[in-house]
A and B are shown apart, each in its own frame.
Chain A
Amino acid sequence: MSDAEQPTDDGVSGDDEFEPIQVFPEAEEMDLRPGADNCYKCSTCDTNCPVAEVDDEFPGPKFQGPEQWRLKRQDDQDVDDSVMKCSNCMRCDSACPSDVPLSQMHNTARGEYVEEQMEKLSREYIRNRILANYRRLAPLGSMFPRTTNFVMGLSATQWLGEKVLGITGERDFPEFATETFREWWTKRGGNATSKKRAQKARAKRGDAQVRSDEKRIAYFHGCYANYNTPEVAKALVRVYEHFGYEIMVPDQHCSGTPMFANGMLEDARRSAETNVRELRAAIADGADVVASCSSCSMSLRQEYPELFDFEGTEDVAENTWDAVEYLRVHEDLEGELEDTSVGDEFDDFAYHAPCHARNQGLDGQTTDVLAAIDGVDAHDVGDSCSGISGTYGWKAENYETSMKIGAEMFDHMEESEAKTGLTECPTCSMQMEHGTGYEITHTLEVLEAALVGDATEATAQ
């Protein structure tokens, strides 16, 4: 109800009388009611929702998205609290046969809910804020990785996490690497070294333009590959250099994925602003952007343009690639992998396609590509969701749901012959390990083993 009291009949416009409260600086762009136009109620989204399948309390994406938006008026402020049960896996997005912007609707509704309805001093809010801002905490942890790993592993710490913050005590915190990727990268000589190595590789490959600037990528490593699994980031560097690419590692913030999932749109906006600025500059320098984490690439490609409009947002989205897909389209990756092998290190894999890779049409890619390597087979363990969905499965109230969702994947992993897990998403990887005890690796590490072999950094340098 917008104007029960009518202004006086003075016939003059009064600026001061009109101060609509804007939750978001571009509030008008956040109106997604027109997005409901595409929905024709088929419920395909609901059948793809891993949360609705295990939890009655979640009414499914059709309600959370087009129905809730259609029932809304501009100034209604009663987003249903069940929106916080959405894990932001975004499967509904790729399911919808009619292009309803479901995840955008969820992200926006969640943002409104957190902004308007959530108690800011609540344990839930504080906990979510902490989980969403992993990148701010991670540097502290990785400064003293061994101490942190030790403390985080203590049962007393986990008990505190659960009781005080609602972070489940069932999970082990990810270990921090003793050397972050960026530390390694700097020590290795940064871009200058990479440039030389790329030139050398091009010469060796017989590339026509050894001095060409065209083979240049900007690597968006994200938080996890930097602090926790630098071996994945290093694998990317070596594989790309093998193909003669010069690598740049621009300054970067969190991609925003955990912030979207927690409705912390303002935090996400700040991070996105930095990322867009830095990546756009790299693109202007002739680089394409690649990411090794499927949620990071998803965020840069899809969520940024849906939620923000910094200058260059579209440009970044259009020039960002998944690391394997990029090689597949720009190089003869499968040809190069023919007749390679990976020795005893790897055998068969139980491969899980992360939801955020699936959403980008990348679900079949890893099995396709790895099939070219002798003696390696990646068995797809089905299209179920791992259930962790970033920070979702870390919350005590979601832990059980998260494990229920993951049960199908665990079963399929155990049914498969392979004893190593494979995926491109760091949190899926945690979940796979947590549910099966398998060691989990990343596709890029397998490619590194096939293409670069055991050539350690020391000998190569």
Chain B
Amino acid sequence: MARDTEVLVLGGGSTGCGIARDLAMRGLTVTLVERGNLTDGTTGRMHGLLHSGGRYAVSDRASATECIEENEILREIAGHCVEETGGLFVQRPEDSDDYFREKLEGCRECGIPARVLSGREAREVEPYLADDVERAIEVPDGAVDPFRLCVANALDAENHGARVETHAEVVDLLRDGDSIYGVEVRHDSGPGKRTHATPGTTEEITADYVVNATGAWAGQIGAMADLEIEVRPSKGVMTIMNVRQVDTVINRCRPKGDADIVVPHETTAILGTTDEEVADPDDYPEEGWEVDRMIDTLSELIPILSEARTIRSFWGVRPLYEPPGTGTQDPTDITRDFFLLDHADRDGVSGMSSIVGGKFTTYRAMAEEIADHVCEKLGVNASCSTADEPLPGSETIETLEAGMDDFGLRSPVARRSKQRLGSRASEVLETEKPNPVVCQCEGVTRAEIRDAISQSGSDLNAVRIRTRASMGNCQGGFCCQNMANELHPTHDEETVREALDELFQERWKGERHALWGEQLSQAMLNYALHATTMNRDRDPANENGDVDFAAFDGGRSGRTRVDGSRRAD
């Protein structure tokens, strides 16, 4: 029986998109389905660290070695998503000298370039480090934008013929006896680009082979075919600061623990994190003490953080896995390695493998290994080229950075835009039409918003992850509305209204965790703008037009009223 696709990838995170790109480049027909937006799961909920491997240099040298290899590859193939910030492992007086030494030795053994800086030298690099910092190890950590990297993978998969469906939730696995041959998905608004206010449909997609790359949700997918996959989801909080207090990744040099890293991420700095096992990756408590711990503990390294403004916090769920019977109690001890579960070997059910565990930095290597496995299953002989072919946006990154064209934009806006768009900058930004800045916090122009809309339909959250619009200090208070305006007239008014409401609510979700000081004032201003000035909270358009306009003031001149009578003053 002819299938719809050769390979069906479940999950639009870094792993799923990486696999889809890899297989599509090898010439297979690929379909990827994702429940929400690309990156909605764990990928979009990480601190943005491009590991040098330094973090694993003591506890897990195999991972460390793999990290430095992949780190170097990503700098080449995804230069426009990576910022080469460098990183420091910082030792405070109370931190162990032995561990510091082990870290340094570990780095050397794993091939991670590392050198020691004195406390004074470290403070010259990062002036806001605490005065009593003793010394630091400098390593090539970097910052990576997981959103754009993941989207670039999906885009390139599409360029190689793949079909990528977001907002397509798997509701069932299609199973014929001991063989899985596809899934049933529910499209939020019909297949293709998302359009709000459009009724959903369901679709069966059949495939020669299914790859379950849903990470922390892999167990839920498995359960649809009565397969048991022992994922142990572990949550971690990340707190976003309004500005970059540091321009280098700052790690605390001590064995393990909460709140030990600050990653400069685009315009912000991200504080992380915690590690706590949860039962359900979709439903777990998000608590204030976790945020407080980030600020209080990391202030020991960077005191200014205690007074600084946070703009939101978010939680991510790691898809940790350990083979049955290992029995690790503390989730921080569970390996960060990944596992490929071939359900044919493991459960006697053919047609599907599941991927669990793993980490963002090595997503490409994981994808390569899985793609090899799929090819073997399908009897295809094709080799991987993802380590050599640049992702869309990074093809001519050097010439771009040397280029002087500012596209008529103010220089910091131009710089930011070019960094985000990479080699696509002129294609997107060169326009004869007015190109005002739509998101002022992040310096995102109309042209860039419209480019994202052309990729993702009416989904403003998808626009957000492509452009960073609404991710700055006003958290969308001032630009949500303007982003939504750009949807018109491609999308009708009702669609725009729903899309706007969804984005505004999504922004609030994270901002709730930063509600004190400046951000509470900001929240009140945002609320006043949307509720008072625009009356969006009680929009009569949402209430089916049952407002009696004739009962209200029609003006002093006694205009004709709706019923045709003249109003008596």
Query: Is B one of A's binding partners?
Result: yes
A-to-B contact residues, CB < 8 Å:
1-4, 6-15, 18, 20, 28, 31, 33-34, 36-42, 59, 62-63, 67-76, 78-82, 98
Q: How far is the CA of A12 from the CA of B117 in the complex (A)?
A: 8
In the complex the two chains form, is A9's CB within 8 Å of B114's CB? Answer: yes
B107-140 CB mask vs A (1 if < 8 Å, else 0) is 1100001111110010011010000000100111
Kindly list chain B residues whose C-beta atoms are within 8 Å of the C-beta of A34.
Answer: 243, 245, 304, 308
Check if B113 sits within 8 Å of A67, measured CB to CB: no
**Contact sample, A vs B, 15 pairs, CB 8 Å cutoff:** A2-B125, A6-B86, A7-B113, A9-B115, A11-B108, A13-B117, A18-B117, A37-B242, A40-B521, A41-B473, A41-B477, A59-B410, A69-B243, A70-B441, A79-B412
Inter-subunit contact A15/B243 (CB<8 Å): no
The answer to whether B410 touches A76 (Cβ under 8 A) is no
Q: Which residues of A contact B84 (CB under 8 A)?
A: 1-4
Does chain A have a CB within 8 A of B424? no
Given that A9-B113, A13-B121, A74-B247 are contacting pairs, would A40 and B86 also be in contact in the complex, using a CB cutoff of 8 Å?
A: no
Q: How far is A10 from B115 in the complex, measured between Cα atoms in Å?
A: 6
Instruction: Report the minimum CB–CB distance from B9 to chain A (whole Å).
Output: 33
Write out the residue numbers on chain B whose beta carbons fall within 8 Å of the beta carbon of A59: 410
A13 in contact with B304 given A40-B473, A41-B440 (CB within 8 Å): no
Query: Considering residues B115, B124, B442, which has the most beta carbons from chain A within 10 angstroms of its beta carbon?
Result: B115
Chain B residues near A4 (CB-CB < 8 A)? 84
In the complex, per-residue mask of B183-211: 1 if CB is within 8 Å of any chain A CB, else 0? 00000000000000000000000000000
In the complex, the chain A residue whose C-beta lies closest to that of B248 is: A2
Chain B nearest Cβ from A18, distance in angstroms: 5
Whether B138 pairs with A12 at a CB distance below 8 angstroms is no
Task: Find chain B residues with CB under 8 A from A69 CB.
Answer: 243
B415-464 residues with Cβ-Cβ distance < 8 A to A are: 415-416, 440-443
**CB-based contact B441/A33 at 8 Å:** no
Leading 3 A-B pairs by shortest Cβ distance = A28-B127, A6-B113, A3-B86
Residue in A7, A41, A73 with the greatest tally of chain B CB atoms within 10 Å: A41
Q: Which of B85, B124, B135, B243 is within 8 Å of A37, CB to CB?
A: B243
Q: Is the CB of A81 within 8 A of B411?
A: yes
B566 to A: closest C-beta gap in Å: 41
B104: CB under 8 A from chain A?
yes
| Complex Cα spacing A93 to B421, Å | 35
Question: Known: A4-B84, A31-B127. Contact between A67 and B441, CB under 8 A?
Answer: yes
- Per the 8 Å Cβ criterion, residues 24-49 of B in contact with A are none
- Write the B456-488 contact mask toward A (1 if CB under 8 angstroms, else 0): 000000000000000011100110000000000
Pair A36/B473 contact, Cβ less than 8 Å: yes
Assuming the contacts A71-B416, A78-B415, asked whether A12 and B267 have C-beta atoms less than 8 A apart, the reply is: no
With A37-B243, A40-B522 known to touch, is A72 a contact of B308 (CB < 8 Å)?
A: no
Q: Give the CA-CA distance A165 to B366 in the complex, in Å.
A: 64
Q: How far is the CB of A34 from chain B (nearest CB, A)?
A: 6
What A residues does B415 contact at CB under 8 A?
71, 76, 78
- Number of B interface residues, CB 8 Å? 51
Decide if B412 touches A33 in the complex (CB within 8 Å): no
B129 shortest CB reach to chain A, Å: 11
Contact of B478 among A6, A7, A41, A76 (CB under 8 A): A41
Please tell me if the beta carbons of A8 and B115 are within 8 angstroms of each other in the complex.
yes
- A interface majority secondary structure: loop
B-chain residues with CB within 8 Å of residue A12 when the two chains form the complex: 115-116
Q: Are B243 and A36 in contact (CB under 8 A)?
A: yes
B124 interface neighbour in A18, A38, A75, Cβ under 8 Å: A18
A78 touches B411 (CB 8 A): yes
A2 cross-chain contacts in B, Cβ below 8 A: 84-86, 125, 247-248
Are A13 and B440 closer than 8 Å at their CB atoms?
A: no
B83 is an interface residue with CB less than 8 A from chain A: yes
Q: How far is the CB of B149 from chain A (nearest CB, A)?
A: 17
Are B477 and A70 in contact (CB-based, < 8 A)? Answer: no
**Closest-CB distance, B263 to chain A (whole angstroms):** 14
When the two chains form their complex, are residues B242 and A36 in contact, meaning their CB atoms are under 8 A apart?
Answer: yes
Q: Name the one of B135, B267, B522 contacting A71, with C-beta atoms under 8 angstroms.
A: B267
Q: Which residues of A contact B411 (CB under 8 A)?
A: 78-81
Which of chain A's residues have a CB closer than 8 A to the CB of B530?
Answer: none
Chain A CB within 8 A of B491 CB = no
Question: Apart from A37-B473, A41-B477, A76-B412, what 4 extra A-B contacts exist at CB < 8 Å?
Answer: A1-B84, A12-B115, A13-B135, A76-B415
Residues on A with beta carbons closer than 8 Å to the beta carbon of B117: 13, 18
Instruction: Tell me if B243 and A33 are in contact (CB < 8 A).
Output: yes
Asked if residues A63 and B410 are in contact (CB atoms below 8 Å), the reply is yes
Nearest Cβ on chain B to A391's Cβ, whole angstroms:
24
Q: Which of A6, A14, A15, A78 has the most CB of B within 10 A?
A: A6
B518 near A: Cβ within 8 Å? yes
Q: Write the chain A residue with the least CB distance to B246.
A: A74
Q: Is the CB of A40 within 8 A of B412?
A: no
* A1: chain B residues within 8 A (beta carbon): 83-85
Q: Is the CB of B244 within 8 A of A41?
A: no
A9 touches B412 (CB 8 A): no
For B299-314 the 0/1 string (1 means CB < 8 A from A) is: 0000010001100000
Residues of A within 8 A of B116 (CB): 11-13
A82 nearest CB neighbor, chain B only: B410
Return chain B residues, CB-CB under 8 Å to A79: 411-412
- A12-B115, A36-B473, A71-B267 given as contacts; is B521 within 8 A of A80 (CB)? no
The minimal Cβ–Cβ distance linking B504 to chain A, given in whole angstroms, is: 15
B157 at the interface (CB under 8 A from A): no
Q: How far is the CA of A38 from the CA of B108 in the complex (A)?
A: 43
**Quick check: B477 and A20 within 8 Å, CB to CB?**
no
Contact of B104 among A11, A15, A20, A71 (CB under 8 A): A11
B440 pairs with A37, CB closer than 8 A: no
Contact A70 B473 (CB under 8 A): yes
Question: B12 to nearest A CB, angstroms?
Answer: 29
On whether A37 and B309 interact (CB within 8 A), knowing A1-B83, A20-B124, A71-B416, the answer reads: yes
Chain B residues lying within 8 Å of A10, measured Cβ to Cβ, are 115
- Closest beta carbon of chain A to B529's beta carbon, Å: 9
Query: A15 contacts which chain B residues (CB < 8 A)?
Result: 121
Q: Nearest chain-B residue to A2 (Cβ)?
A: B86
A39 is contacted by which of B118, B127, B139, B473 (Cβ under 8 Å)? B473
B413 proximal to A (CB < 8 A): yes
Q: Is B525 engaged at the interface, CB distance under 8 Å to the other chain?
A: yes
CA distance A212 to B413 in the complex (A): 61
CA–CA, A71 and B473, complex, Å? 11
A10, A13, A28, A62: most-surrounded residue (chain B CB, <10 A):
A13
Q: Which residues of A sit under 8 angstroms from B127, Cβ to Cβ? A: 28, 31
CA distance A37 to B311 in the complex (A): 9
B82 to chain A, nearest CB (A): 10
Closest to A74 in B: B247
B15 smallest CB distance to A (angstroms): 28
- Max count, chain B CB within 10 A of own CB: residue among A3, A9, A12: A3
| Residues in B neighbouring A76, C-beta threshold 8 A | 412, 415
Beyond A36-B473, A79-B411, A81-B411, whether A8 also contacts B113 by CB under 8 A is yes
Q: Which residues of B contact A7 (CB under 8 A)?
A: 113, 115, 138
- Whole-angstrom distance from the CB of A70 to the nearest CB of chain B? 6
> Do B242 and A70 touch across chains, with their CB atoms under 8 A apart?
yes
Partner of A70, one of B107, B124, B243, B247: B243
Closest residue of A by beta carbon distance from B104: A11
Q: List the B residue with the shortest CB-CB distance to A99.
A: B518
Query: What A residues does B242 contact at CB under 8 A?
Result: 36-37, 70
Inter-chain contact B474/A72, CB cutoff 8 Å: no
Instruction: Tell me the minimal C-beta distance from A87 to chain B in angstroms.
Output: 18
Contact B104 A3 (CB under 8 A): no
Distance between A331 CB and nearest chain B CB, rounded to angstroms:
40
Give the complex CA separation of A18 and B247 in angstroms.
Answer: 16
Give the residues in chain A near B440, CB-CB below 8 Å.
41, 62-63, 67
Would you give the shortest CB distance from B339 to chain A, in whole angstroms?
32
B472 touches A70 (CB 8 A): yes
Q: Are B121 and A18 in contact (CB under 8 A)?
A: yes
Give bound CA distance, A170 to B532, whole Å: 49
Q: Please, which residues of chain B bring their CB within 8 A of the CB of A11?
A: 104, 108, 114-116
